[in-house]
Amino acid sequence: MNLPREFAEPLDRVAGVLAPLAARVVWHAETGSTNADMAALAEAGAPEGCIVIADAQTAGRGRMGRSWSSPPGAGIYASVLFRPSPSVARMLTLATGVAVADAIDVSTGIAPVLKWPNDVYLGGGPTSGRKVAGILAEAGVSGRETWVVVGFGINVLPVVLPRELAARATSLEGELGRSVDRGELLATCLCHLAARYEDLRRGRSRAVTDAWRYRASATFGKPVEWDENGAVQSGVVRDLDDEGALIVDTPGGVARLVSGELRWM
Ligand code: BTN
């Protein structure tokens, strides 16, 4: 199906700076999950930079096995295929978080806060703010090559959410009180993502971690807890290291977190 004008025109305008992203764009009015579609295309040999976009997802996937609410026309649901080296692969989700947060800032004037590893919050940090966007990376191997699908979902329009989500989620239009152009925002996200991918490929991962620190600084010095080996651990967030791990001061010493989920207290 043809990409609607809402997306086609803004993407055409930035085509020159998107390479290698958007070499091929696949559109679905409705699909299960753009990440699942992109993974299938990756297995079938799709080129790096291929993008799947949907107007609605019926089985949108979130982190930690959760689902991602994706009603028709209410958000941006997109997945991008990378065929990166291992060192670049490690940093891709952080880089995408930075790209999405910067794009929201540039497009709307609202400055998002990043919650490790890559949840995008508005209205303060994870304790006082509400989540507006999330990122899910899924990797696989075909032949001898690793592929990584990075999917991002941005809540653009306010929608009725289940009560447990409503208190923790928000949307751009809900915060701004005016309409947001989904096509322009997607094109801006992809421009920032292409630039961050280039940073990683050229060994400038420090530029990505510095940008991430800037967006997450409201969360530094804040108490957090997480589950590890069946026990609850707790500490105070200190920093991000150059490999994207979160450094947390705990009563027992310094913890270096490379994956998982934090609870903010
Ligand atoms: C999270 O839990 O924060 C991650 C949410 C990721 C949602 C996006 S929407 C586009 C892509 N396709 C999916 O099924 N999930 C991601």
pLDDT in tens, 216-230: 999 999 999 999 989
Look-up of token digits 């979160």: 246
Q: What is the pLDDT of residues 148-186, one digit of tens each?
A: 999 999 999 998 877 777 788 999 999 999 999 999 999
What spacing in Å lies between the alpha carbon of 66 and ligand 1's midpoint?
A: 9
Task: Characterize the bridge pairing of strands 263-264 and 119-122.
Answer: unpaired
For position 104, what pLDDT does the model report? 98
For position 84, what pLDDT does the model report? 97
For position 1, what pLDDT does the model report? 64
Look-up of token digits 């971690």: 209
Q: What is the dihedral of CA 221, 237, 216, 256, to 10 degrees?
A: 160
CA neighbor of 120 nearest in space, from 247, 236, 47, 216: 216
Below-70 pLDDT ranges, the chain: 1, 125-126
CA angle, 157 then 103 then 192, to 5° = 135
For position 159, what pLDDT does the model report? 84
What spacing in Å lies between the alpha carbon of 133 and ligand 1's midpoint?
A: 8
CA-119 nearest atom, ligand 1: 3
For position 125, what pLDDT does the model report? 66
pTM here is 0.96
Q: Within 13 Å, how many C-alpha atoms sit on residue 61's CB side?
A: 19
CA-134 nearest atom, ligand 1: 3
What spacing in Å lies between the alpha carbon of 134 and ligand 1's midpoint?
A: 6
Pocket of ligand 1 (CB under 6 A): 33-35, 57, 60-63, 66, 68, 77-79, 119, 134-136, 151-153
Cβ(265)–Cβ(223) below 8 Å: yes
Classified as helix, coil or strand, 82 is strand
Q: Using CA positions, which residue lies closest to atom 15 of ligand 1?
A: 61
Rounded to whole angstroms, what are the CA distances from 6 to 38, 120, 167? 21, 24, 30
Distance CA 83, CA 239 (A): 29
State the DSSP string of 191-252.
HHHHHHHHHHHTT-HHHHHHHHHHHHGGGTT-EEEEEETTEEEEEEEEEE-TTSPEEEEETT
Neighbours of 148 (CB within 10 A): 22
What spacing in Å lies between the alpha carbon of 30 and ligand 1's midpoint?
A: 15
What spacing in Å lies between the alpha carbon of 202 and ligand 1's midpoint?
A: 27
